[in-house]
Amino acid sequence: MVDLFSYMTENEKEVIQGFKERLTKHLLSICKEKGYLGDTLLQTPDIEGKWTEIAPDYYGDAIPEFNGYPEVVLAWAAYLGEAVAQCWDSDWTSFSGEKYGFFRGARGFDYLDEHITEKFLGYKVGSEEGNAEAEVLRDLATQAYTFLRHDNIEAQSILAYKAVLASIDVMFLVGAAVRLKKLGYKFEKM
């Protein structure tokens, strides 16, 4: 996971860690209620490690768009999570070295959802499956943005900026978990 904590005070670390935990719990409860996930956020070190690599480039595309299109920025992070999870399942050896641009696509940030829908998820844009996937991620992005806006972090502050980054991180992980479940993975205690 991206180290948001390296330039924070201990108090800021506590606030952002608490925010991430609350947001994850909130989104997981929605996912469980709607059947997108079970009781646990499915994840792997490989997928989390790939996010650590590509997140800075994603932030570079996403943060300038956040004020105008916050839900898009959050949903696109979940799309990235789905794409990485799909690659992890199909042929991680081939895909593990790919950079952010591979996942974003040649048409750029604005078309990231369409690129991932067709290239990685295997759905045609506008198809029933593609529309259903878009609806799931749009719903989760709306929930995440509402949560972010109503949390007790002061708007327009440095801490609020870090909460936006934390929200993007959580959305990536949720997107990956949703895809892993669709691929048939489930959490089992050892």
Checking if the pLDDT of 86 tops 60, the result is yes
Angle at which helices 112-119 and 70-95 pack, to 10 degrees?
A: 40
The model's pLDDT over 104-138, given as tens digits with 9 standing for 90+, comes to 999 999 999 999 999 999 999 999 999 999 999 99
162: left (phi over 0), alpha (psi -120 to 50) or beta: alpha
Task: Give the separation between CA 52 and CA 20, rounded to whole angstroms.
Answer: 16
Tokens read off for 143: 């929930």
Count of CA atoms in the C-beta half-sphere (13 A) of 38: 11
The model's pLDDT over 142-183, given as tens digits with 9 standing for 90+, comes to 999 999 999 888 888 889 999 999 999 999 999 999 999 999
Residue 84 corresponds to which amino acid? V
Task: Give the separation between CA 23 and CA 45, rounded to whole angstroms.
Answer: 20
Q: Bigger pLDDT: 8 or 168?
A: 168
Q: DSSP letter string over 19-47?
A: HHHHHHHHHHHHHHHHTS--SS----HHH
CA angle, residues 54, 61, 26, in degrees to nearest 5: 70
* pTM for the whole structure: 0.93
Cβ neighbours for 61, distance < 8 A, ≥ 6 positions apart: 104, 108, 109
Task: Place 3 in a pLDDT band, splitting at 50, 70 and 90.
Answer: low
